[in-house]
Every structure is written in structure tokens, then in C-alpha cells.
Amino acid sequence: MTQPFSVPRRLIVAVGGNALDPAEGRGTPEEQKAIAAATARAMLPLLELDNQLVVVHGNGPQVGKLLLANAAAQDRVAPQSLDILVAQTQGALAYILAQAFENALREAGNPRHVVGLVTQVEVDRHDPAFANPTKPVGPFFSEAQAKALAAELGVTVREDSGRGWRYVVPSPKPKHICDVSLVEALMCGRTVVIAGGGGGIPVLRDEAGRRRGVEAVIDKDLTAAVMANVLGIRDMMILTAVPRVAIHFGKPEQLDLARASLSEMKRYLAQGHFPAGSMGPKIEAAIRFLETGGRRVIITSLETAVPALMGETGTHIVHDHEAEGEDEAAADANSRLLRTPAALATA
């Protein structure tokens, strides 16, 4: 068991897009609303806390399906640019989540409000990601299906962590959260704020301060890290498909991590333990968050979010000096956490 800690006054929670549209479903409105309701029930103890809470969600499956629909119907309906598709998923998912969160709160007799914001996020026009698409989005395909779609529709496809083939799109790093003062104003009034959905709508800013959209999908965990640092939030929780981060994932020597220092996670990342497009961006976001003022990152599953917040499960990543003195206990905990491999989630 990791060391428990007091519930933070300010908290940011990043929820993966696959948690709202899992691969085994079709992503119908009924499915998405039912999954959002289940998410709200699991997060209800967090929603009911007397704290300042921001929720950032992914949109990989949803925006990928819109890309597919866009391409398939381009002879009948004018295709939309990727920034507009991100905005569409951001608005739709914020609506679904906000409604589910408020319904769960009302059923519990809690009057707390939830609001979803359309969030633009500035990126660097010279980011090398624009020339190297790596962000997996949309449904999974077989290799033959994916290559046929690539030839037919002109999209880029790539194998995704052994789980199938998907579209990949540019994923520049977030540089600045636009209008973040509005998030803070709502947050300080105890409104639960859903912001930065899908990593935010990617925009460029010119010398006159004018914004324009750019075709990309930003990683939502990196956006959550930047937003948290700007807002002075020192604790970040990243929800994924597994209760703990693992090294040697999927191998007989798999080791789940209960607690790890910043230096350890940087070393594990450099050693290639965390694939790009799945756990890699989450670890990169955790490192960025801690290196720019954050105190603690918890990575766990939706189902174990509340126990993890109390220090009972999850992977807790902290600064090296905070890990000192607990290394022996953490090593003992880690050594006892060899588990059956579970599928990694994407953003």
C-alpha cells in the first residue's frame, strides 16, 4: 500500500476517450450516455468533495470516427477540417459528461453545478509533430482493412501497440491554454469544470494575436498538465484502463508500480517501457507536470480512482526528495504487484 495523503483542495482529473467509447462498443448515443453515467457514479465521491475540480477528457475514438465519416461522405457533404472535428467532439462529450455528472450529484442530493467549456489550445507552428503523425485515433482495423482505407481515403494508418491498426494524426505539444482565466473563475466558485476536451482545439496565433485552427489532435494528458500548472493545481490524476502502471508490460516479469520517483519514471521511459500512443504520453505528461511545479501524479483506473486518491492503490509518481525514505517500502510493494496483463488505454 502506498502512503495515504490528504485529499487535495485542487485536483485535475484526465479521463481517456476510450473510457467513454470502448473498442467493444459501436459508440451509439445510448452507449455513450450509459458509459458516462457509469463514469459519473464511479467519480461521484470526487464530485462531492468540497474542492476545486477540473476534468479533462480524451476524444481519440470519437474524432477518429468523425474522420472516417468525413472521408466516406466527402462526395455528398463538405468535409470538415480536423480542428472543427475536435471542437465537435469536445462539445458533444462535454454535454454528455456534464449531464451525467449533474444527474449523479442530484441523485445524491448535491446541488453542485458542472459546466463544459469549449477550449482552444495554442501550439507551435514549428512543432515537428506536424511532419510526423503519431496520435492514434478512431476504431481499430486489421492490417488489410487499414491499408485499404489508407489507399482509398488518403489517411495515414499505423499499428497501435499490438491491438490493431488505427488512423494516426499530428499531435503537437500544448503551448498555451487560451482563456484559462475562465476555468479558474468557475473552479473557484466550486463549479466542476470540464475543459480541454480532446486536448483542446489546436490553434496557432499570429503576431497580431489572432487565432486560427490547425489540423491536429493534442494529447489530453499533456494539456491537463499544462492547465494544472497554470491554475496552481499540484495534484493530477490520470485515469486509464489499468489500476497501476507496469514495466515489462505483457511479459512474465511484468512489474506493476505502486510508487515511483520522477527520476525512476524518466529512466523507465527512456528504456522504452511505455509505448507511444498508449502509456507513453501519460508518463510524459506526468514528468512535465512534476518538472513545472506539480506535487504528485496518480495513474490508475476509473474503478479505483477513489481508493487511489486515498493512497490505497494506483501508481503514485512523486519528486525524488519525497520518495526518499520510502524507497524500501515502495520496492516491497512493487515486488508484490505482479499482475495479469491488461490492455493499455489510449487517450
Per-residue pLDDT tens listing for the chain (347 residues): 344 456 678 999 999 877 677 666 777 889 999 999 999 999 999 999 889 999 999 988 888 888 888 878 888 988 899 999 999 999 999 999 999 999 999 999 999 999 999 999 999 999 999 998 888 887 788 899 888 878 877 778 888 867 788 888 899 999 999 999 999 999 999 999 999 999 999 999 999 999 999 999 999 999 999 999 999 999 999 999 899 999 999 899 999 999 999 999 999 999 999 987 679 999 999 999 999 999 999 999 999 999 999 999 999 999 998 877 554 444 444 444 333 333 333 33
Is 135 one of the annotated active-site residues of the chain?
A: yes
Mark whether 18 is an active-site residue.
yes
One of 60, 70, 135, 311 is an active-site residue; which one? 135
Catalytic residue among 70, 116, 138, 282: 282
Q: Which of 16, 18, 65, 229 is catalytic?
A: 18
CA distances to 9, 235, 263, 317 from 5, in Å = 12, 11, 21, 13
Strand partners, 14: 56, 238
* Catalytic residue status for 33: no
pTM: 0.86
Q: Which of the residues 200, 220, 277, 294 is marked catalytic?
A: 220
The active-site residue, picked from 17, 60, 197, 200, is 17
Distance in angstroms (rounded) separating the CA atoms of residues 244 and 74: 42
Please give the CATH number for the structural domain made up of 10-335: 3.40.1160.10
Domain boundaries along the sequence of the chain: 10-335
Distance CA 30, CA 89 (A): 16
Residues 6+ away with beta carbon under 8 Å from 316: 2, 3, 258, 259, 260, 296, 297, 298, 308
What are residue 121's DSSP bridge partners? Answer: 177, 202
What are 280-338's pLDDT values in tens digits? 999 999 999 999 999 999 999 999 999 999 999 999 999 998 877 554 444 444 444 33
Give the span between the Cα atoms of 38 and 245, in whole angstroms.
Answer: 23
